[in-house]
Amino acid sequence: MSKAEIDELTAEFFGAFDNRDGGAADVARIRRLMIPGGVIVKTGPDFTAYTVDEFVEPREKLLAGGRLTGFAEWETSERTEIAGDVASRFGEYRKSGMLDGKPYDGTGTKAIQFVRTPDGWRIAAFSWYDAP
């Protein structure tokens, strides 16, 4: 069923940022999970629209460079709607780790748009909002 595939893709997406227990985050996998030309948007006062590479590169440095350690983010709730070859997921998430040696955590919302491609479901776009 498509919902299970979308659940798996979403879990893989969140797992890309995980560097707990000394493991290396695999942020580069976002390039494989998204379609070419995918769009990423951060909302809020620092509104920014990113290409996939503009999003991935600084996060690779942050998660591999020692500033953000023991980090993970995970979905806490979600609603997914599927219509043919398109799907939309609206989910709440939490994140936790150490940033510059200090505890770092938070919550937010992610909206993810999926499309079914010849290679399976991929992310076409996602946006997020970090709660204050």
pLDDT tens for 33-63 read 999 999 999 998 899 999 999 999 999 999 9
pLDDT in tens, the chain (132 residues): 589 999 999 999 999 999 999 889 999 999 999 999 999 999 988 999 999 999 999 999 999 999 999 999 999 999 999 999 999 999 999 999 999 999 999 999 999 999 999 999 999 999 999 998
**With the CA atoms of 73, 15, 46 and 77 taken in that order, what torsion angle do they form, in degrees rounded to the nearest 10?**
-50
Q: Looking at the DSSP assignment, which residues form a beta bridge with residue 84? A: none
CATH class of the domain defined by 2-130: alpha beta
| Tokens of residue 88, six digits | 């939309």
Nearest of 87, 80, 22, 32 to residue 56 by alpha carbon: 32
pLDDT for 132: 81
pLDDT for 2: 87
CA dist 61 → 21, 65, 68, 99, 114 (Å): 18, 5, 9, 13, 27
How far apart CA 2 and CA 67 sit, in angstroms, is: 37
